[in-house]
């Protein structure tokens, strides 16, 4: 049976002690789990976070976007090694929080645009680095999930087809695919075929409307999404992802310049209601 989650970026730019109360809020809204941003790893109080998760019966998975200093496709070997070591630290944190996945832009720097297509050398560097991290993460029961995102945020991985190809080139059992309906709406021909293509590799799904607003209020073809999920027997996370307006650190990458709904709480509550209705129609047998 699928589980429902919410990305903390809906309410906060980072997870630190001041935002730990959002774990209780997540539970109060009816979610099963929370997706925790790992970009500012040093701010996460792992022990306190684990206590809050356990106290409220909330599960956790990790969300990651590498930056230019941890870019595993970099020409600089020192930067690539730094990226590998950083991801290993992310694995340590998620494992301590009893999570089993790190999702997102883990294959290059989020927001990096070179003005040209990816190169074979960049592809090779990414695959080799992720292979190392996967082998490390395997001992902790953590999976790494490749999220293809739109062309305005990366030139490296835009479609489910490419994500599947990179996963196969990495060749580890704990490398998976993560699809996001917001990015699919831009890059894919439809919503059904990419999900079917990902198949058993699909380990995580972001349910985002075409404008990052309330799921079900835009033109994402949710019937195609849920029909495909039904056909592949998907039974993991359906996570609402939107972003707090005015995020100082990530605004340029997420391109959130206006309010997307009356409030973040409305996105969470109405979005969850919609996802439950679609699940009951397609996924509950």
Active-site residues: which are they?
147, 241
Cα gap 41→54, rounded to integer Å: 20
Q: Which two tokens stand for residue 263?
A: 């409030």
Cα gap 68→70, rounded to integer Å: 6
Of 263, 273, 272, 278, the closest CA to residue 10 belongs to 263
What Cα–Cα distance (Å) separates residue 80 from each residue in 122, 153, 163, 279? 11, 20, 20, 41
Cα gap 43→16, rounded to integer Å: 5
Of 269, 268, 216, the closest CA to residue 244 belongs to 268
Beta strands 237-240 and 143-146, pairing class: unpaired
Residue matched to tokens 């020192």: 78
Question: Under the phi-then-psi rule, with left for phi > 0, alpha for psi from -120 to 50, and beta for the rest, what region is 255?
Answer: left
Cα gap 211→220, rounded to integer Å: 9
Q: Are 154 and 112 in contact (CB under 8 A)?
A: yes
């Amino acid at each position: 049976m699928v589980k429902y989650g919410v990305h903390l970026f809906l309410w906060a730019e980072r997870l630190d002690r001041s935002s730990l109360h959002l774990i209780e809020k997540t539970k109060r809204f009816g979610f099963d789990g929370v997706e925790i941003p790992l970009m500012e790893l040093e701010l996460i109080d792992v022990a306190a976070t684990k206590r809050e998760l356990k106290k409220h019966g909330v599960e956790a998975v990790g969300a990651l976007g590498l930056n230019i200093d941890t870019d595993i496709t970099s020409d600089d070997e020192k930067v690539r090694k730094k990226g590998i070591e950083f991801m290993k630290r992310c694995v340590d944190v998620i494992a301590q929080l009893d999570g089993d996945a790190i999702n997102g832009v883990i294959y290059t720097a989020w927001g990096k645009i070179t003005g040209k297509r990816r190169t074979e050398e960049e592809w090779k560097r990414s695959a080799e680095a992720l292979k190392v991290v996967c082998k490390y993460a395997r001992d902790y029961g953590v999976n790494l999930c490749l999220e293809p995102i739109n062309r305005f945020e990366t030139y490296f991985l835009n479609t489910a087809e490419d994500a599947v190809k990179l996963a196969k080139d990495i060749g580890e059992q704990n490398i998976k695919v993560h699809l996001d309906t917001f990015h699919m709406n831009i890059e894919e021909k439809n919503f059904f075929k990419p999900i079917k293509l990902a198949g058993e590799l699909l380990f995580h799904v972001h349910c985002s409307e075409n404008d990052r607003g309330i799921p079900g209020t835009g033109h994402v073809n949710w019937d195609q999404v849920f029909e495909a999920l039904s056909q592949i027997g998907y039974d993991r996370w359906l996570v609402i992802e939107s972003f707090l307006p005015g995020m100082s650190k990530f605004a340029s990458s997420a391109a959130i310049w206006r309010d997307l709904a009356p409030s973040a709480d409305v996105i969470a509550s109405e979005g969850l209601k919609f996802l439950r209705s679609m699940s009951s129609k397609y996924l509950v047998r």
